[in-house]
Structure 1
Amino acid sequence: MPRLAPIVLPALLAALLTAPLSAQAPAPQPVPQPVPRPAAPAPATAPAAIPPAPASQGAAWILMDATSGQILAGHEIDTPRAPASLTKVMTSYVVAAELAAGRIKRDDMVLISERAWREGGAGTAGSYSGFDVNTRAPFEKVMTGMVVQSGNDASIALAEHVAGSQEAFADLMNRYAKQLGMTNSHFVNAHGLDAEGQVITARDMAILARALIRDFPEAYALHSIKEFTWNGITQHNRNGLLWKDPSVDGIKTGHTSRAGYNLAASAKRGDMRLISVVLGVETSNRADAFRIREGDNLALLNWGFRFYETHALFDPATPLATQPLYKGETDSVALGVAAPLLVTLPRGRYGDLKPVIDVPKQIIAPISEGQTIGTVRVQLDGQTVAEAPLVARQAVAEAGFFGRLYDEFRLWWNAE
């Protein structure tokens, strides 16, 4: 009789234990037998691939990692659309940049001109902050009114304060947009009311949001304020996600008949920050529009945080490499990073990261502390997902005459 292979025996035994018994005559006094426990099901394993991002009802949408600028998901991300009040994020960036450059000051008083009042004030159909015509208000109050209340009057007043006129300010907006790499956007005004030629894309909006968060965190912090009062009138931030998710701290809503309903949002959980943008939600019901644009942004953010993770790589206090050094008081120099390198990748792939160091073949003294000497790149599946400069961890002075002469010979010899 052939012998059963060992792997068959457990299966065979299990089959016998679980098979139904055939009908038999009852035994005189049956002895109770232990009921065999069914085998526990094998634990479920996570699928290898990340499921698709939840699709938005917006005409265009994007999810971006704020650390690297990596696009995690998107649809029609380069299709130009009317920005509505998302324009004010560009206005915020320009004002913050001009403030940092010293061309305006934080303690300035801003004139609310007749144009700002007539085109963006209480007598218009758009949102306003309630500043009185031909009065001056503190710069910080006007900025807060523009960001929190989406005030068109505040936007025009700030544009005139920075550049003299809204038209000149729009030119500044386009210059800064070009510097940031917003290649498919164009601005005509500072507030976002529909105007011929004023467009933005989902990708460019995410680029702009990332730049504001990175370059001007104080200006970005205004976007988390939930309400603002001026002239006895309290108005609430229209970004409902500020109340729904404590990790959300911005950014901006917008709506016009041409744009539909827009919302750009950002959230930070741990070391990871994501930016979502939903453009062009179309519905005749305002409450439905708010629900859709907020729900779609939150779904994108939750998906990103669920399936991606951010890691801080490399301790600045620890050298990554020690490289030979010529013509120096020492014959080597330690290299490292100036700050931890943050990288965002699919969850569970941290162990697959591969660092690659690029340094010059010959490093010659003198070397100053913090001098950039090379680059460290982090790769996943052969693609670079993050990189940072390699810098000298200490200064190395030039060697004396004979030391330099000896290393000159070494360089000549190694070149051969």
Structure 2
Amino acid sequence: MSKTFLRRLIAVVSLLGMPMMATAFETTATAAYVYDQSTGTVLLSKNAQEPLPPASMSKLMTIYMAFEAVTSGRLNVDEELSVSSHAASFGGSSMFLDTTDRVRVEDLLRGAIIQSGNDATVVLAEALSPDGTEAGFARLMTERAAQLGMRNSNFVNASGWPAIGHRMSMEDLGILTDRLISDFPTFYPLFAEEEFAFDGRVPSNTRNRNPVLSMGLGADGLKTGHTQEAGYGFVGSAKQGDRRIIWVITGLDSAEARREESIRIVNWAFRQFAEQEVATAGTQIATADVWMGAAPSVGLTVAEDLTLLVPALNQGNITADVVYTGPIEAPIAAGQHLGELVITFDELPEKRIPLVADADVARGGFGTRLRTAALVLWQKFGPVPGDAASEGA
């Protein structure tokens, strides 16, 4: 008996009351992902689900798991870790650790974040690995990534050193960045530190590689990456006012192109979109038919105040649909999830917002059940013989 109902809502659309279309952004990156964290809106997705070599951007996964370990007490920021010959053997970006060193966890975290130290990352990985090896930790990274909803990531090592099968999608890096910012607000400021001179031994590698960190754009993280295979990439985040955006790019042909593309993305994301309050919790947006209830319908509302990110320029198209499967059988409790508000913009992915009942609806009494039974018979068999109404009386 239940059917899926779709109702177009002109009233909800008119609440927006502003122009609706932004100019499409054309990026020179091979793959890109731009996400407005404040409203949960994907602003740009180009080859974003394709698994690609992430270079040092995959260090963010090791860093995330190290933050988890410190938070849970498995590691202590003042704890000193030894450096294996394997960790000390890495070239590329480095803290220049050797096997005689014992290094504080906090220094290793700064070394991985600011200096992009391959050796620092591997020391952390080996300390947290179930078998004490980097390979064992990489397997754990892959498992943890899947738990976080990262569907296109596979790790072979902890640092992003080029390896067959070591892959992440730009969307996955965006998901990971969202979690780093949300889950670890105490540690996240480490990404905005501009310099880390670990005991003065690497004067040429003390500056944060973030290309837009000090440009007045609100940028405060996160991680660059570069290998010959991957090209130049960057995972960035910036906050202006109450809005925060996350962007991930890869496949650029130079560090300068990476910097310029990041500036373009930040300017576009903040200037071409604006937040708009659409509905407050408890405000009835639509109604749904009720089956066997003390009332024939129930109001649908959003559970929380609804703010959407909308394009700020030009006039475009927007539709808002209420979708639910009904009629909905009573009893119904206020706050019960009953359907979705599906909003579709030009140039943006559709947005699906849960809708809940705005009031209780009790199950109907004997009279309600009798009328419902009569209605079912009418719909199934037609007019009952002798019914005066059916005879035109």
Instruction: Map Cα deviations across residues 349-396 of structure 1 (whole Å, 9 max, x no partner).
Output: 6884332112332334444453312111112369962111112345x3
* Structure 2: gaps spanning 5 or more residues: 1-18, 380-393
| One-letter amino acid of the counterpart of residue 360, structure 1 | T
Q: 1:77 to 1:162 in 2, by over 3 A?
A: same
CA RMSD of aligned residues (A): 4.0
Q: CA deviation at 1:95?
A: 4.0
Contact 1:148 1:227 in 2 (8 A): yes
List aligned pairs for 1:172-183, cutoff 5 A: 172-179=140-147, 182-183=150-151
The equivalent residue for 1:199 is: 167
Q: For residue 91 of structure 1, what is the amino acid of its counterpart?
A: T
Measured at CA, do residues 170 and 404 of structure 1 come closer, stay the same or move farther in structure 2, by a change above 3 Å?
A: farther
Any conservation in 2 of the 1:112–1:133 contact (CA below 8 Å)?
no
Cα distance in 1 for partners of 2:190, 2:367 equals 61
8 Å contact kept, 1:343–1:385: no
User: Alpha-carbon deviation of 1:86?
Assistant: 0.3
Identity %: 31
Count of paired positions: 351
The offset of 1:125, in angstroms, is: 4.2
Match in the other structure for 2:373:
412
Distance 1:407 1:388 in 2: 32
What is the DSSP-based 3-state SS (H/G/I as helix, E as strand, rest coil) of the residue aligned with 1:236?
coil
For 1:320 and 1:262, the matched residues in 2 are separated by 43
Q: Distance in 2 between matches of 1:169 and 1:221?
A: 25
Q: SS state of the match for residue 86, structure 1? A: helix
User: Does the CA contact (< 8 Å) of 1:358 and 1:374 recur in 2?
Assistant: yes
More off after superposition, 300-309 vs 242-251: 300-309
Q: Which deviates more from structure 2 when the two are superposed, residues 157-166 or residues 379-388?
A: 379-388
- Residue identity matched to 2:129: A
Between Structure 1 and Structure 2, whose CA radius of gyration is higher? 1
Q: CA deviation at 1:300?
A: 2.6
- More displaced stretch, 346-355 vs 241-250: 346-355
For residue 83 of structure 2, what is the aligned residue in structure 1?
Answer: 114
Q: CA–CA distance in 1 between the matches of 2:155 and 2:143?
A: 10
Structure 1 portions without partners, runs of 5+: 1-45, 283-288
Going from structure 1 to structure 2, the CA distance change for 1:194 and 1:382 (only over 3 Å counts) comes to closer
2:137 is the alignment partner of 1:137: no
8 Å CA contact retained: 2:55, 2:225:
yes
Q: Say if 2:336 is the partner of 1:371.
A: yes
Question: 1:72 aligned to 2:40?
Answer: no
Give, in whole Å, the separation in 2 of the partners of 1:242 and 1:236.
Answer: 11
Pick from 239, 248, 265 the counterpart of residue 268 of structure 1.
239
Matches within 5 A, 1:136-215: 137-138=104-105, 140-164=106-130, 165-179=133-147, 182-213=150-181
Deviation, structure 1 residue 241: 0.7
**1:34 matched to which residue of 2?**
none
Deviation at residue 412 of structure 1 after TM alignment: 2.9
1:239, distance to aligned residue in structure 2 (A):
0.4
Structure 1 position 313 matched with structure 2 position 286:
no
- The answer to whether structure 1 residue 62 and structure 2 residue 27 are counterparts is no
Q: Is the 8 A contact 1:131 1:153 kept in 2?
A: no
Correspondence 1:84 to 2:55: yes
Normalising by structure 2, report the TM-score. 0.71
1:128 aligns with 2:128: no
Paired with 2:200 and 2:141, the residues of 1 have a C-alpha distance of 32
Give 1:298 deviation, angstroms: 1.1
Residue matched to 1:337? 302
Contact 2:32 2:248 in 1 (8 A): yes
Q: Residue 241 of structure 1 aligns to a residue in which SS? A: coil
Counterpart of 1:10?
Answer: none
State which drifts further: 295-304 or 222-231.
222-231
Contact 1:128–1:153 at 8 Å: present in 2 too? yes
Give the alignment's TM-score, normalised by structure 1. 0.68
CA contact (8 A) 1:81 1:200 kept: yes
Per-residue deviation, 1:253: 0.9
* Deviations 1:127-177, CA, capped at 9 Å, x for gaps: 228698564635x55434422332333322332333333222211222244
